Amino acid sequence: MTALRQRMIDDLQLRNLAPATQRNYIAHVAAYARFFHQSPDQLGLEHVREYLLYLLQERHLSPEGVNQQVSALKFLYLTTLEMPWNSVDFPRAKRPHKLPVVLSQEEVVQFFDHVGTLRHRAALMTCYGAGLRISESVALKVSDIDSQRMVLRVEQGKGRKDRFAPLSPRLLTLLRTYWRAARPAEPYLFPSCRSGQHLHAASLQSACHDAWLRSGLRKRVTPHTLRHSFATHLLENGTDVRIIQVLLGHSLLETTARYTAVSPQLIGATVSPLDRLDQNAKRVPR
């Protein structure tokens, strides 16, 4: 291991970045160094520019993929190498604005009717019933279930933040049924076949994909689709968007507010000013 690599690892750990983020940053910088066959401390901003254009134009990476590389290089040069540059020297690719896919409640029922195993059904139902990310669902521990207060404790979710998520009576019943049938080894509610580890997110992704294909739904269903649907259905039922923000663990309200744009129920219930035109015109003095 080079001294530069070790120093970057130390800097990542000092800032307490998530383990997955640390691994990704190191991998991105390693790929950058291999591209030029040089140590990154011998490269400059023109090399960064050339590499990002290569990723966009030849590798055809998505804006999200390019921006992950930008973040890694920005950390390397501004934090670890302490170069006299600033954030504007690391331009980020503009991401197209896309509305999240949301299932209707009937489509949610149709999807879950085709989930193969009780374990996968329980884990995916947790994504929908509590609005959890897939990484949060598979990492749940038996001790995270608080049936007295009817909440799930999400430990170190995205952004290294703890939070509580709602535990509905129906979800609690399903989790109890699953627990009695599987008797999962502690601590994890959804353990892996490997001792002491939880179910891998990729395994749940695969089970979700298979269930979607069997369901015949035209909308693509992923575990994150279930989380989007949770938020939208709460909004349609009148839950304040600020409460939904807390339940989802969003740092910014505008991240949560986008669900107002994907709710057909809310949009359909909006009264157009055209419909009020005659009423308003009658109030105008002649």
Active-site residues, by number, are 133, 158, 224, 227, 250, 259
CA–CA distance, 262 with 231 (Å, rounded to integer) = 10
280 by DSSP, 3-state: which? helix
Residue pointed to by tokens 């910088």? 29
Residue pointed to by tokens 């307490």? 16
- How buried is 189 (Cβ within 10 angstroms: 0-12 exposed, 13-18 middle, 19+ buried)? buried
Max Cα distance, the chain (Å): 85
* Phi, psi for residue 122 in degrees, rounded to 5: -65, -40
E strands along 83-242, which residues?
145-146, 151-157, 161-166
What lies within 8 Å, CB to CB, of 242 at 6+ separation is 253, 256
- Which tokens sit at 233? 């259905």
Write the DSSP assignment of 191-218 as a string of letters.
B-SSTT-BPPHHHHHHHHHHHHHHHT-S
Residue pointed to by tokens 């990704």? 24
Task: Give the C-alpha distances (Å, rounded to integers) separating 77 from 33, 51, 73, 131.
Answer: 13, 15, 6, 37
CA–CA distance, 74 with 85 (Å, rounded to integer) = 9
Query: Strands of 161-166's sheet, edge to edge?
Result: 145-146, 151-157, 161-166
Residue pointed to by tokens 């879950």? 112
